[in-house]
A and B are shown apart, each in its own frame.
Chain A
Amino acid sequence: MSAAERMSPTRPGGVTRRLLTAHAWLVYLFFYAPIAVLIVLSFNQNRMVGIWQGFTLDWYAQMLDNTAVLRAIRNSLMVAAISTVVATVLGTAAALSLERYRFRGRSAFDSVLYLPVIVPDVTMAVMMLLFFVRAADALFVASGARVGLGISTIAISHIAFNISYVAIIVRARLAGMDPVLEEAAADLYAGRWQTFRRVTLPQLMPGVLGGALLALTLSLDDVVITSFVSGPGSTTLPVYVFGLVRRGVTPLINAVSTVMLVASMVLVAASLLLQRRRAEP
């Protein structure tokens, strides 16, 4: 046995190592080839997907002229912004109360909080649809106001599933935080609010931002729940694209898809940069 091998026996050498390297490259190829093909084809002049004819930006121009696509983008951004902000506040509150306080009903709250993560999308969609149909009826009987499915019902549903994801991430951060600093602040006569504002929140921020980013992504991704609770004219971008995709492959969808891919990559890059900035000082 060579010295190098003895020093790090868990780093496989020789054939195994070469196989593992090749395998890793293949996995990356599997991850990125479909995405790359999609991006390249969105610049293809040819309407037929498979045959390359030349470079064009026509499909992007067509996308910007398409009012339905633009409205869907606006709806998506609006829903994502509202649901992210509200879910981040509520999710952080849930995490704080569960992690830092003891009270009656705590364990019941704890299990309800985890349910939306485990419940399948389809069941959640059914729950939301039936709830809004019944709630709309109840409101109609009570006030005479007609409540339809639309942006507000989509945002309300997205908040419902996002609270749990934010809470789980913030809680993980809280659990790993040393309470010593908070105790020190209290010993130095900082009030409860002051302690939270100056000591707890700054330490908690990476968790809160991480949770917000996950909520944003989940909201921008959701198809199933949104398609159940959206009304005519209030579709989000994924639901609109899903409707088109089922009918077939078109250059327009390729262009819209590329925009969605780039948007999520920008989000990832931004979050990674944020993390690095925080890690440095």
Chain B
Amino acid sequence: MAQVLAPPPPDETTASPGAEAGAERARSRLGVLIGLPPALYLVLLFVVPLVIVLVYSFATRGPTGQTILADWNVDAYARLANPLVREIAFRSLGYAALTTAICLLVSYPFAYFIATRPAAVRNLMLVGVMIPFWSNYLVRTYAWRVLLSSSGPLSQLTELLGFGQTRLLFTSTAVVIGLVYGYLPFMVLPLYAAIERIDHALVEAARDLYASGARAFWKVTWPLSRPGVVAGSILVFIPTLGEYVTPAILGGSKTTMLGSYIVNQFLSARDWPFGSALSLVVMAVMLIATVVYFRTGGRTL
């Protein structure tokens, strides 16, 4: 026993690598020690809840809305083919796609303009984007409720100009305006970061080789800014798809989006298995979209 426990005879050639391996093990232990509390927190409050939602999605809804954790079935998933669900899903996709497209169209020239200003002006302009970016989303959406209300400023303006009252509130137009307003900074900032990083000598070279301004933009600037386009589009598309606050404030009965529909399953319809299944499907779609988008974006970089 004593012999087994005794330290190996000192050997000048192997002692040093052995000590290094020991130090490496100690470092790895320290890393685990530091990482353990946040990892445990995330497992307990993220992974475990995810599993619970998965379990609930196969449960049965009782006659009074309680969830019965027995009689496991896939009814909740079968109901996804329901025409109403399909309508809401396509509407959400449509709103999200439209919002992303509008944000991109508005932001690209704007971000390009900021990126080509002198440093002092540029910083000031960026602060102008940061303020709405950090401001409360709910309050900013509410501002549009005020603006668009039938007695509101916009309606008065159009009436004054002789167009009559505007009746935009509670329509899909109002929802898309609200979404664009809410998520525009999420498109501007990554686009700016990407355009600002472009080496302008490349554009200069294209121009020197007699490319027109438009051609130089299309062949040099646009491809080089692709990472910003991809990042911005993801940052806008994904949260708008599951949006709940905006349609609740600016939309009407015909503008229900997936987010609102899921919330209804929990707060009013009391159909937890169906709500669980829906929220998992939305999450899966978003995860897949993110991965695919990053892959395709990454390949062209």
Contact = CB atoms under 8 A, between A and B. Distances in A.
Interface stretch (B4-12, B13-21, B124-132): B124-132
A66 interface: no
B151 A261 contact: no
Contacts of B276: 126, 130
Q: Of residues A41, A50, A96, A131, which shows the largest number of chain B Cβ atoms within 10 Å of its Cβ?
A: A50
A21 B39 CA distance: 48
Q: Tell me the interface secondary structure of chain B in the complex.
A: helix
A182 interface: no
B282 A9 contact: no
A37 B147 contact: yes
Contact of B34 (A50, A101, A160, A260): A101
B248 interface: yes
Given A49-B151, A50-B151, A267 B134 contact: yes
Interface in B99-157: 106, 109-110, 112-114, 116, 125, 127-132, 134-140, 142-147, 149, 151-153, 155-156
A11 interface: yes
B125 A34 contact: no
Contact of A122 (B109, B146, B151, B262): B262
Interface string A216-232: 01001101100010000
Contacts of B221: 10
B269 interface: no
Given A50-B155, A130-B49, A120 B139 contact: no
A260 B258 CA distance: 28
A197 interface: no
Contacts of A241: 138-139, 142
Q: Of residues B116, B142, B280, B283, which shows the largest number of chain A Cβ atoms within 10 Å of its Cβ?
A: B142
Interface in A39-55: 41, 48-51
A37 B39 contact: no
A118 B46 contact: no
Contacts of A145: none
B42 interface: yes
A198 interface: no
Contacts of B286: 118-120
A95 to B, nearest CB: 9
A101 B42 contact: no
A23 B49 CA distance: 46
A112 B39 contact: yes
Contacts of B146: 34, 37-38, 41, 49, 249, 254
A128 interface: yes
Interface stretch (A25-33, A56-64, A67-75, A172-180): A25-33
B189 interface: no
A28 B128 contact: yes
A9 B34 contact: no
Contact of A34 (B53, B143, B207): B143
Contacts, number: 257
Contacts of B138: 221, 223, 238, 241-242, 245
Contacts of A109: 35, 39
A27 B242 CA distance: 25
Contact of B242 (A100, A120, A163, A228): A120
B245 A224 contact: yes
A189 interface: no
Given A112-B47, A121-B259, A265 B116 contact: no
A121 B262 CA distance: 11
B231 to A, nearest CB: 13
Contacts of B263: 122, 125, 224
B135 A94 contact: no
A203 interface: no
Interface residues of A, number: 89
Contacts of B30: 101, 192
A30 B266 contact: no
Contacts of B184: 27, 30-31
A143 interface: no
A16 interface: yes
B2 interface: no
Interface in A231-281: 238, 241-242, 245-246, 249, 253-254, 257, 260-261, 264-265, 267-268, 272
Contact of A118 (B50, B152, B216, B287): B287
B275 interface: yes
Given A38-B146, A119-B286, A242-B249, 17 more contacts: A19-B109, A23-B110, A23-B113, A35-B140, A93-B35, A115-B46, A120-B242, A122-B242, A122-B244, A126-B262, A127-B46, A130-B52, A164-B42, A217-B134, A224-B245, A268-B131, A272-B127
Interface of A: 8-12, 16, 19-21, 23-24, 27-28, 30-35, 37-38, 41, 48-51, 90-91, 93-94, 96-98, 100-106, 109, 112-113, 115-116, 118-123, 125-131, 134, 156-157, 159-160, 163-164, 167, 192, 217, 220-221, 223-224, 228, 238, 241-242, 245-246, 249, 253-254, 257, 260-261, 264-265, 267-268, 272
Shortest Cβ-Cβ A-B pairs, 6 listed: A101-B31, A97-B35, A120-B242, A127-B49, A131-B49, A34-B143
12 contacts: A20-B113, A38-B146, A50-B151, A93-B37, A98-B35, A113-B38, A126-B279, A127-B46, A128-B49, A134-B52, A160-B45, A265-B134
